[in-house]
Structure 1
């Protein structure tokens, strides 16, 4: 069971207008199947600062972000925050429609939040790092392009390198 942590001071959260729309719709659609988590997601969306997608800081958890966080039990995890149909715990893909997923959305690196697990126990998590979708792929692609450029013969090279 999830209980709202309304009494606890919650950190400021930022959500893109695109995520806000999709998450609000998700919460409304899940009210019958997952009433407690859906209600908590609605509460979080109600207190979120909604900004244009391009204005969300890179260190803020949004949908498809890869998040590294530490729990109050000193456990450290690295997960991807996804929509319910993409969730797969064996691949470290956590649904936003879980208590921990609701807790993560909109937090920035360095922020902590208290959340209530389905067993009714309260926990605290702290976001350590946030990686945005495609960031790792674009870094690898950039490194590959630089490597290829270094190994390509220059226009003024008299002969290209030969295979041994």
Structure 2
């Protein structure tokens, strides 16, 4: 698959160095679809790495509550993103390494992005990011 044919506009994402390294390691496991792997690779190449204290408050990262909208259906979903070891269904928390976590991490409120889900490529808009 030609990356330029599926990825039309990569905007730099903002990540802490720890999350940047975590995503690089996740790429090495080859658990993503070809489309998502190519998209994440391009996002990481353009990523801005910052210290946690310099991360803008409206950027998706761990310990954030994120409300997204699936633009194809208008459905809204809310996720409480945490690190992989802290994700527990009973606490209503989701690992940042779930497909939707990887898709949105580093993006800020208002961002629209395409990500391949099990039923095809979906356009997601990040509606709100707040602290847990």
TM-score (norm 2): 0.75
Q: Which residue of 2 aligns with 1:56?
A: 55
Task: Tell me the distance in 1 between the aligned counterparts of 2:22 and 2:83.
Answer: 9
Q: CA deviation at 1:64?
A: 2.4
Is 1:97–2:91 an aligned residue pair?
A: no
3-state secondary structure, aligned to 1:61:
coil
Q: What is the CA–CA distance in structure 1 between the aligned matches of 2:50 and 2:104, rounded to whole Å?
A: 17
Q: Which has the larger radius of gyration?
A: 1
Structure 1's unaligned 5+ residue stretches are 134-164
State the match for 1:36 in structure 2.
33
Unaligned runs of 5+ in 2: none
> Superposition RMSD on alpha carbons, in Å?
2.7
Distance 1:93 1:11, change over 3 A: farther
Q: Deviations over 1:78-125 (max 9, x none)?
A: 102234444456754333333322211011111111111123x11111
Query: Matched residue of 1:12: which SS?
Result: coil
Q: How many residues align?
A: 126
Aligned pair 1:107/2:104, yes or no?
no
Structure 1 length-normalised TM: 0.63
Which protein is richer in strand relative to its size?
A: 2
Pick closer, same or farther for the CA change 1:122–1:91 going to 2, 3 Å.
Answer: farther
* C-alpha distance in structure 2 between counterparts of 1:74 and 1:58, whole Å: 25
